[in-house]
Amino acid sequence: MPTVRDVAERAGVSIATVSFVLNGSKPVTPATRQRVEAAVAELGYHRNELARALASRKTRILALAHPTAEHRFGSSTTDFITSAARAARARGYHLVLWPIDTDGQEIHDLLGQGLVDGVVLMEVKLDDPRVDALAASGTPYALIGRTRDPAGLVHVDIDFDRSVADALDHLQDLGHREIAFVTAERPGYGPKVRSEAAYRRLCAERGLEPLLLECAPTAPAGQGLMPRLVERVTAVMLMNEYAAFGVLTGLARAGLGVPDDLSVLSFTSPDMGALADPPLTTSHSPGAELGSLGVHALIDQLEGIEPSAPRLVPCTLVPGQSTARRP
Amino acid sequence: MPTVRDVAERAGVSIATVSFVLNGSKPVTPATRQRVEAAVAELGYHRNELARALASRKTRILALAHPTAEHRFGSSTTDFITSAARAARARGYHLVLWPIDTDGQEIHDLLGQGLVDGVVLMEVKLDDPRVDALAASGTPYALIGRTRDPAGLVHVDIDFDRSVADALDHLQDLGHREIAFVTAERPGYGPKVRSEAAYRRLCAERGLEPLLLECAPTAPAGQGLMPRLVERVTAVMLMNEYAAFGVLTGLARAGLGVPDDLSVLSFTSPDMGALADPPLTTSHSPGAELGSLGVHALIDQLEGIEPSAPRLVPCTLVPGQSTARRP
DNA sequence: GTGAAAGCGCTAACAT
DNA sequence: ATGTTAGCGCTTTCAC
């Protein structure tokens, strides 16, 4: 592996000049720049990121801290992670994975290693001790999700208000007025709390009678909703990836069908929705976009670019065949 | 952040001795060891992994190279990744994510940065240029999956022979003799090729008539199989995550049911299988185990531990209600 | 068993 | 505009 020294020698300049050219950190004559670039190309030189990190006190490595148990983005977790890693690389950073299970100590030890410049924290809870640990460490960080009071914290999240409003719009446009909302049983879970709040507020604003239900956060779920649900509403929005199949099954067993007897809108990936019969109308979380935005927000902060206002991104509605005009 | 110097000073020893204690790289008197350890604890010292990496010429960072498009492990990709990261950390390594789309150059540039000691390559194809790029680079690597001729390459993969045999056993035990096998349309895709070969061989050995079918590698899929499938077999194994729902739907539309008219065994996660009605008998890929094994195989290689023979891990059969005794 | 000193390959003052 | 030089925080000979 060639080093700056080899490049400098070959180009007939000092190692400082090589560094200036590589980093654009100081003005350099076009002529010498070219000689350096030629030497770099001829030698197939790549700078050693480790040495650079040590000398510059910037590792250009970010950590993606995520609990191993929960899967907030469900089917879009992979998209999120991949997109975060791509965004990092696009700006010259690397992303390391930190599966974090415990709260304070683990993250503290990891940070102590001095390997990363900042942390992207996934699956942020309303009251999250990891956020406190990060804040105490002084390491820059960006949150995916929000704590109870996220004011002043760098974060990106789903825009639950918009997402629920869009879903309601879709159903109301089809003539529905009795629209239930089903979440997963997860007390204190941010997305549940925020989407329920949005639903309640929107119902009030629009003069709709709210019907909030819950079911299990894992499959199978939703089948038990059935007697109650179809008696009281003509449409349902499911903020629970697993519930849709249960609802369809429960309905079928009662001799009823979608969308004739009930319109179903599920917050899940279109891929998942396509598995159902009929293919579901879905609203999918912006996993990839959040991954990218979160990383950019963190890097902006690291590089002293603008304060980077929190971004809230709505889910995207993809019409399927499980929603139809009210009978 | 305290450094070795601070520790050395406080313990009244040289920085070399501190290093010896921290790494166990040289014998040290119990007494001085204790003094050093005390100083470490008092100062809350963590060694700087970056500096250690530069000086020792071992970064203790591994890359997980994965294509962004394909999703071999489907629903278990997240498990795989998480488990790989955990295994790495358990042995004192970090795992960086490298979403790789192009073939040679990208991986070459990344390796040139000198950030990683080795690479775990996911989604290995039968003929994979990335493997050649890695081999040419001289960087140690481990493959998840196998090339056409994996002899001599460090790799871990699903044991398709065992997995298909176990599935056949399950169905044959239930009295089935006509058992179809459905894969996803993906020419040259390792898992498809190897599982099909296993199916053919096993059918021959057991005197069964093979029926191989394909359908789309994305949802919706499988509905089109229906007239043909149920006329010719009493059971089907689906090596296609998306097909199961289509098969169920197709069957229902024909007024038929599972498992009465057809037994269905799907190679997917039990979570996914639980969504179906009836809950599917599934065989799930050992995503987490492969992630961990792959990382260990790579680290063993890096640390000069035994040659680490290739490990093939079978899928795990989880009986559901979609398979039953042949009518 | 312990210490002194020479780097690892780079960046970033500070000179010139 | 370019060069000299002093580190970044650690590991690792080589002496003692």
Q: How confident is the model at residue B242 (pLDDT cuts 50, 70, 90)?
A: confident
Instruction: State residue A305's pLDDT score.
Output: 87
Residues 44-83 on chain B lying near strand C, CB distance under 7 A: 51, 54-55, 57
Instruction: State residue B253's pLDDT score.
Output: 87
The Cα–Cα gap between A320 and A282 comes to 7
Region A42-51: what's the mean pLDDT?
96
> Can you list the alpha helix ranges (DSSP code H) found in B113-174?
129-137, 160-173
Query: Of 3.40.50.300, 3.40.50.2300, 1.20.1250.20, 1.10.260.40, which CATH number belongs to A61-158+288-315?
Result: 3.40.50.2300
Q: Is A97 at the interface with chain B, CB within 8 A? A: yes
A171 has a pLDDT exceeding 80: yes
> To 5 degrees, how large is the angle CA A254–CA A259–CA A264?
90
- Write out pLDDT tens, residues A214-248: 998 877 788 888 878 889 999 999 998 889 999 99
Region A173-185: what's the mean pLDDT?
96
Q: Is B275 at the interface with chain A, CB within 8 A? A: yes
Instruction: State residue A114's pLDDT score.
Output: 97
Instruction: State residue A74's pLDDT score.
Output: 62
Cis before B310? omega within 30: no
Q: What is the DSSP letter of A261?
A: T
A72 has a pLDDT exceeding 60: no
Q: How confident is the model at residue A71 (pLDDT cuts 50, 70, 90)?
A: low
- Low-confidence winner among A150-159, A267-276, B189-198 (lowest mean pLDDT): A267-276
B101 has a pLDDT exceeding 90: no
Classify A188 in phi/psi space as left (phi over 0), alpha (psi -120 to 50) or beta.
left
Instruction: State residue B224's pLDDT score.
Output: 83
Taking an 8 Å cut-off on Cβ atoms, the answer to whether A218 and B271 are in contact is: yes
For A181, other C-beta atoms within 10 Å of its C-beta total 26
B280 and B322 Cβ atoms separated by less than 8 Å: yes
Query: Where does chain B hold its CATH 3.40.50.2300 domain(s)?
Result: 61-158+288-315, 160-285
Instruction: State residue B143's pLDDT score.
Output: 96
Instruction: State residue A70's pLDDT score.
Output: 65
B324 has a pLDDT exceeding 90: yes
Region A163-169: what's the mean pLDDT?
98
C-alpha torsion angle, residues B283, B287, B292, B297 (rounded to 10): 90
Q: Which two tokens stand for residue B81?
A: 């990744």
Surface-to-core class of residue A148, CB atoms within 10 Å of its CB (0-12 exposed, 13-18 middle, 19+ buried):
exposed
The Cα–Cα gap between A307 and A310 comes to 9
Nucleotides of D under 7 A from a protein CB: 1-5, 7-13
Instruction: State residue B70's pLDDT score.
Output: 65
Cis before A259? omega within 30: yes
- Low-confidence winner among A71-75, A256-260, B183-187, B242-246 (lowest mean pLDDT): A71-75
How many Cβ pairs within 8 Å bridge chains A and B?
A: 129
Instruction: State residue B36's pLDDT score.
Output: 97
- CB within 8 Å of chain B, chain A residues 46-85: 46-51, 53-54, 59, 61, 64, 66, 68, 71, 75, 77-78, 81-82, 84-85
Taking an 8 Å cut-off on Cβ atoms, the answer to whether A245 and B113 are in contact is: no
- Write out pLDDT tens, residues A92-146: 999 999 999 877 789 999 999 999 999 999 999 999 889 999 999 999 999 999 9
Contacts of B22 (CB under 8 A, 6+ apart): B36, B40, B47
Q: For a pLDDT cut of 70, what percent of chain B falls above it? A: 98
- Write out pLDDT tens, residues B55-86: 999 999 999 999 887 665 566 888 899 999 99
Smallest CA–CA distance from B109 into chain A, residue: A46
A290 and A120 Cβ atoms separated by less than 8 Å: no
For chain B, the average pLDDT equals: 93
Q: For a pLDDT cut of 70, what percent of chain A falls above it? A: 98
The Cα–Cα gap between A81 and A61 comes to 15
Region A59-74: what's the mean pLDDT?
82
Query: Where does chain A hold its CATH 1.10.260.40 domain(s)?
Result: 4-47
CATH topology of domain A4-47: 434 Repressor (Amino-terminal Domain) (1.10.260)
Smallest CA–CA distance from B137 into chain A, residue: A1
More confident position, A277 or A164: A164
- Write out pLDDT tens, residues B116-170: 999 999 999 999 889 999 999 999 999 999 999 999 999 999 999 999 999 999 9
Region B24-51: what's the mean pLDDT?
96
Instruction: State residue B166's pLDDT score.
Output: 98
C-alpha torsion angle, residues B182, B192, B144, A50 (rounded to 10): -110
Region B289-297: what's the mean pLDDT?
97
Q: Please say whether the structural domain B160-285 has been given the CATH code 3.40.50.2300.
A: yes
The Cα–Cα gap between B28 and B300 comes to 27
In the three-class reduction of DSSP (H, G, I as helix; E, B as strand; rest coil), residue A43 is classed as helix
The Cα–Cα gap between A238 and A74 comes to 14
Instruction: State residue B210's pLDDT score.
Output: 97
Q: Which residue has the tokens 């559901």?
A: B320
Length of chain A: 327
Instruction: State residue B284's pLDDT score.
Output: 95
Q: Is A93 at the interface with chain B, CB within 8 A? A: no
Taking an 8 Å cut-off on Cβ atoms, the answer to whether A113 and B71 are in contact is: no
Taking an 8 Å cut-off on Cβ atoms, the answer to whether A220 and B95 are in contact is: no
Q: Is A135 at the interface with chain B, CB within 8 A? A: no
A146 and A300 Cβ atoms separated by less than 8 Å: no
